A and B are shown apart, each in its own frame.
Chain A
Amino acid sequence: MTSAIQIEHVTFGYGRDKPILRDISFAVRTGTFLAVAGPNGAGKSTLLNILAGTLTPQSGTVLLDAANLRSYGVHEIARKVAVVRQEFVPAFGFSVLETVLMARTPYYGRFGFETRADREIAAQALELTDTARFASRPLANLSAGERQRVFIARALAQDTPTLLLDEPTSFLDFRHQVRIYDLLKSIQRDKGTTIVAVTHDINLAAQYCDEALLLYGFAESPDAAGSGRSAKPPHYCIGEVSDVLAPEAVERAFKVRVFSGVVGRERFLLPLGAMAKDTDRSGPKPAGPAAERERT
């Protein structure tokens, strides 16, 4: 049971005295699909960038395949980890196919041209993300959702054992949300890829992911204003999806009332605000865990 990624006592903040992540430790086992959730500003994207090696923590270590991330060169990291970030329109008009092919740059031949294998991998990535029909269109001419799929295709073309995604389905319609999650799941199953996805979509995460990491946000955590002594880091928790994304935890993290229902093996959670039609169906302010479980 090896860990693809392991984080030990990582602390990171953009300013000197304002840590966003404090003393976080966890391991992602190889071949696991981990969802990272939490309120805005909790540090999800930051954590993802630390895993990808783009940001360096102020203290603590990140281990990739049991070796310190910092000991790897950029090229080696790219062979193990592919990252999908928020979509954007680049300054120059590269086409979809050109953009996806670029992921194969480190593997180009001597004169800087792609090989047939590269082209095949790219074509397959386009097929999997249903973007093959825009292959020759420049990115600027696509919708945000289509562009998002292109960025995912590019990461797939990198053909790595680990995949990190930052809100990959935020602009996608239902059909494509499900397609992407199906795709990720099948990659996990067929290739044993380790997947870490930051997502706002807790319900889909529950249906597809094995584990979840819930970030409370350091400033908001229960012990933040406390005496300062704490045995274990309070501002995140990680574990099985059903444990971590439990209604009370979600309500506490997001500071919102949720309605909780059962689908089959998993729950679904629906946030209900004061003006929502069914607002009386959501639970009262969390009194205690026992009261919650009774309600469902």
Chain B
Amino acid sequence: MHPPLAPGTLLLRIAIAALLLVLVMFLCSLTGPQAISLKAALSGPASPAIPNPDYEILVRVRIPRVILAALVGAALAAAGVTFQALLRNSLADPYILGISSGAGLGAILAVISGFGWTLWGRSPIAVFAFLGALGTVWLVWGIGRITGRHHVTGLLLAGVVVNAFLSAVILFLVSIARSQHFYATMFWLMGNMTEEDFHVLWIGGGCITAGIVALFFLSPQLNAISIGHRDARSIGIAVERVEIAAFAVSALITAVAVSLSGLIGFVGLVVPHAVRLVFGPDHRQLLPLSSLVGAMFLVVADTAARVVVAPAQLPVGVVTAMIGGPFFLILLIRYSRKVYSPA
């Protein structure tokens, strides 16, 4: 069905996907609620006397957003692939172990406490969300270890419990919040892309890319672990170490993604699944391709979110669900037949 992977094939597929991504990013940066013309934008930055809104919008608003969407999409997809491998379950997504509720709690605490200070010009919501996400992961991991032997089950259960508890706390806080805080939190929780500073993109981009490369290095071991951890150990893989490393890296890049853009669902669940259906479960291919496809997907979804009901803006999470759902269904129907056909 899928012949085993050759390095040449993988490189070619990655190159094609990367080119597609660049193309998509370019086209989407030209699309938005305001009509801008590339020619006008290219005539250069503004002088104080003659402002050039086309340039401003393209360079200061659109391009940073598109880059951000690509980074977040890649991070969520890569984390999704890894969690699905570690939990041996193709219905896992990066938020399954409490990251979403932890980040949400951090965010709402930041909003309610009304901190006036900023970190490098950014509101503290992002920082608190990041810390909340990581703190929750650490908590879930700890609980999972305590429950002992059947590690994966322990993790899943711990994640469900922590998620439920923190969600209740969030609802409580939201119910007593002032309306503006409530709205700000809801908006953040539903996922949003805004233009970020160059240095934020640089740092976030560096961390996310390094994380994805690290996960790629772990891909052969993830292949074995995704079959069974006892089998993987017999083959000679240091299962505990690989699991901790993969888990930590994916949790980190998810936390970075969530702190940059709020909670965007569906990408981490559907993209790995779809890519696996088409290209097979070999993680050396699944990981890089899912990252690139996830990036493309989110860039397109974000553009749609900005444009469809302009000048208002849909939450990106809504668009990812609306695009992702039917698309995934079609894919499932077409490719499932291939899987179960007689030899």
Contacts and interface: CB of A to CB of B under 8 A. Distances in A.
B153 to A, nearest CB: 14
Interface residues of B, number: 38
B235 A92 contact: no
Contact of A79 (B236, B280, B340, B343): B236
A98 B226 contact: no
Nearest to B224: A102
B100 interface: no
B326 interface: no
Interface residues of A, number: 40
Nearest to A158: B235
B89 interface: yes
Contacts, number: 105
A99 to B, nearest CB: 7
B2 A105 contact: no
A95 B2 contact: yes
B211 to A, nearest CB: 17
B340 A141 contact: yes
Contacts of B7: 111, 113
A75 B236 contact: yes
A93 B278 CA distance: 12
B237 A92 contact: no
A105 B221 contact: yes
Contact of A105 (B90, B230, B235): B235
Given A90-B227, A90-B228, A136 B3 contact: yes
Nearest to A82: B234
Interface string B194-238: 000000000000000000000011011101101110110111111
A134 interface: yes
Given A91-B88, A102-B224, A113 B234 contact: no
A288 interface: no
Given A112-B219, A113-B284, A91 B90 contact: yes
A25 to B, nearest CB: 24
A106 B236 contact: yes
Interface string B1-41: 11111110000000000000000000000000000000000
A85 interface: yes
A194 to B, nearest CB: 16
Nearest to B10: A113
A75 B238 contact: yes
Given A54-B234, A98-B282, A158-B236, 18 more contacts: A54-B230, A74-B233, A74-B236, A74-B237, A79-B236, A82-B234, A83-B234, A90-B228, A91-B89, A91-B227, A93-B280, A93-B281, A105-B220, A105-B236, A113-B7, A113-B284, A136-B1, A141-B343
11 contacts: A77-B236, A78-B233, A78-B235, A93-B280, A98-B4, A102-B227, A105-B220, A105-B223, A105-B224, A111-B7, A114-B4
Interface of A: 52, 54, 73-75, 77-79, 81-83, 85, 88, 90-95, 97-99, 101-103, 105-106, 108, 111-114, 134, 136-138, 140-141, 154, 158
